[in-house]
Amino acid sequence: MKRTLTVRRALLIFTPILLVACFLTSQLCYRFMYIPVRSKYQQMAAEITDQMTERDSLILELKKIKGLFDGKYVGALDEKVLIEAVMKAYVENTGDKYAVYYTSEDYTALLQSYEGQGEGIGVRISENGEGRLIVVYAEESGPAYKAGVRAGDEIVAVEGKSVSELGADTASKMLVGKKGSEAVFTVKNAQGEREISVTREEVNYSTVLYSLEENNVGYLRILSFSNTTFKEFKKAVDDLEKQGATALVFDLRQNGGGLLSSVHDVLDYLIADGTKEEPKVVVTTKDKNQNEQRYICDDGHSVTLPMAVLTDGHTASAAELFAAALRDYELAVLVGQTTYGKGVAQSTYEVGDGSAVRLTTAQYFPPCGQNYDGVGVKPHIEASSEGLNIYLTPHSEDPVYIAALEGLKKQ
């Protein structure tokens, strides 16, 4: 009897306690788990609804406009042109000043440029500041070179219209075209003017030009950083060292950058490897979510010659990384002007029918860890080549090159 009363009494005591505990637990779970999760998903649902509403509104407006033209416009519509115009306008108005919409033709040309290829007459030209087009150099394999065009020649007319009438930018674009098509242009040099007609071809363009100058200074002009640059760069450095170069000058003036993988390979060839515990990082990128990717030196090769890097206000992006990395590891003296200040990276994505969009997806950080976007990379020695055509001016008359030689003496 006593045992029965004890169990009954225990049930009477603990049952209410268990019920209260269950109630409190459910309230705590509801307060601290269910409500926050519900609020989060309600917010996400609201954002998605807003986005869908905005997107549906945009699509509805475009459909209305399209319907008006389809039903009332007396002319004919080119749907491809209209779609490309809408895509281009959207990308241009995102606020990303480096964003670009590429048509299928433009994207194909871009991919070719990454491989050092292009369709045209096979010359690099420079606008001299007075609206004149000067040939920087002509690829020996290109049709222009075969027709007698050389560095220093001026292109004064294209398709029978003067460059002054067309404008330098329009005239230079007219020289580019599909292989197999005809290009007609007029060249002026010391021998006079002559009209040239050539058939455009697919040309392999050099990105690194080099020579051994007086006092055994190896000079390398890096025009851009493409998939072919490292191979050309390695050949140039190796050849200059074999010729007895005692110093290297890298000219990155007017270099607008290029591929991150390319500049990483080039820097890796110059900078000694670090250790597993302390790797030599040439650049770090950070994306929108602060995810980092580090590019390190690990190829087992380095160059110990004194080095100088020439920069100007058009030295940008990957070219700035090159200058900043050598500066941060105290391997080169920087000479010239503060660089452009493009410390962000772009990625390109195909979006259908061969078209693509390039947009800014990460920030660059050189070894020192200081991003230079909007600021640029400041040289150790300031010098200016303003007013000179740097591609054709002899080194003995180039103030920036001369200042670099002085800087090398102090290394």
Of 277, 346, 408, which Cα lies nearest the Cα of 99? 346
Was domain 117-204 assigned CATH 3.40.190.10? no
**Do residues 159 and 181 make contact, with C-beta atoms less than 8 angstroms apart?**
no
H or E stretch covering 282: strand 281-287
Buried b (16+ CB within 10 A) or exposed e, 289-301: eeeeeebbbeeee
Low-confidence ranges of the chain (pLDDT < 50): 1-5, 37, 41, 45, 48-49, 52
| 26 burial via Cβ count (<10 Å: 0-12, 13-18, 19+) | exposed
Give the amino acid at 321.
Answer: L
Q: Which position has the token pair 């042109």?
A: 81
Q: How many CA atoms lie within 13 A of 252 on its CB side?
A: 35
Query: How long is the chain?
Result: 411
Q: What CA–CA distance (Å, rounded) separates 86 from 137?
A: 38
* Domain boundaries 208-409, CATH class: alpha beta
pLDDT score for 395: 94
- How many angstroms separate the first and last alpha carbons of the chain? 103
Residues in contact with 126: Cβ distance below 8 Å, sequence separation at least 6, in sequence order: 133, 134, 136, 254, 389, 391
Cα dihedral angle (319, 322, 328, 330), rounded to 10 degrees? Answer: -120
Whether the full predicted model's pTM is greater than 0.85, yes or no, is no
Residue 257 sits at φ, ψ, to 5 deg, of: 110, -140
| 160 burial via Cβ count (<10 Å: 0-12, 13-18, 19+) | exposed
H or E stretch covering 296: strand 292-296
Q: What CA–CA distance (Å, rounded) separates 224 from 255?
A: 6
